[in-house]
Amino acid sequence: MSHMHIPDGVLPVWIVTAGWVVTALLLAFCIKRVSSIELKRKVPLIGIISALMIVGMTLEIVPIAYHINLTVVAGIVLGPALAFISVFIVDLLISMFGHGGVTVVGLNTIIIGAEAVLGYYLFQLFKEVMGNKSMFWESSLAALLSLLLSTSIMLGVVYISQISPEKIESIGHLVSGTGSNTNGLRVLEDGINFSRFAKTVFILSPLGWILESVITGLVVKYVFRVRPDLILPERA
């Protein structure tokens, strides 16, 4: 829910280049970490999870104008390494549908990938602390905290890039799930007030975080009931 719907040509070249370089290095690490045998076995599951994420990211929930990512679901089911690969595939595909520019795929992969990876490790932590119950609360809390972190990373990108809000239609095109209110972006014009902008984001975003967390909890709970082997084993 925290990736950037920014078209090509808005962010500085240096930051999008850095995003692609870091993403390429992380992808190389993830591919190396996953054995060829496991990767071949998991390709169908990667395809299913990626398809679910694409559907979630491209369908708007009316009337609140939110869409979900399901990245924490990907992290829990696939594990951190495969989930990061899946996130890159999804970001690349949706960029071709106009869901953000191709140049920001690297940055978005880092932001949403962090969401998936952190979601996996937080879920493992909560699972140990709370016990293997329905998995609803464990996964919901993991999603909530992961979204908080990824939104913070997104704000960091906005801050260091000094992006001009005039080039973005609305806060909803910068932070998925915050609607079309433009007031949050206007505070950046003519003398950037990042503090006010960040406050606006954190006021508007929690509703989306809660929605995504509940959906994540329900999905993981269902998967755990029908295929517990997809939730419990340790993964790369």
For the chain, domains (ranges, CATH) are: 13-164+206-230 (1.10.1760.20)
Query: For the chain, what percent of residues have pLDDT higher than 90?
Result: 42
Residue 189 has pLDDT above 60, yes or no: no
Residue 38 has pLDDT above 70, yes or no: no
Read off the pLDDT of each residue in 154-165 and give the average, rounded to a whole number: 75
Cα–Cα distance for residue pair 206/120, rounded to 1 Å: 20
Specify the DSSP class assigned to residue 4.
-
- Span 99-139, pLDDT tens digits: 778 889 999 999 999 999 999 999 999 988 887 677 899 99
Residue 2 has pLDDT above 70, yes or no: no
Query: For the chain, what percent of residues have pLDDT higher than 70?
Result: 79
Q: Answer yes or no: are the C-beta atoms of 231 and 76 closer than 8 Å.
A: yes
Measure Cα distances from 160 to 97, 153, 178, 206 in Å. 27, 11, 21, 23
Can you give 31-61 as a three-state secondary structure string?
HHHCCHHHHHHHHHHHHHHHHHHHHHHHCCE
Q: Looking at residue 207, what is its pLDDT?
A: 84
- Residue 161: enclosing H or E segment and its boundaries? helix 136-161
Model confidence, pTM: 0.82
Residue 77 has pLDDT above 50, yes or no: yes
Rg (CA), the chain: 17
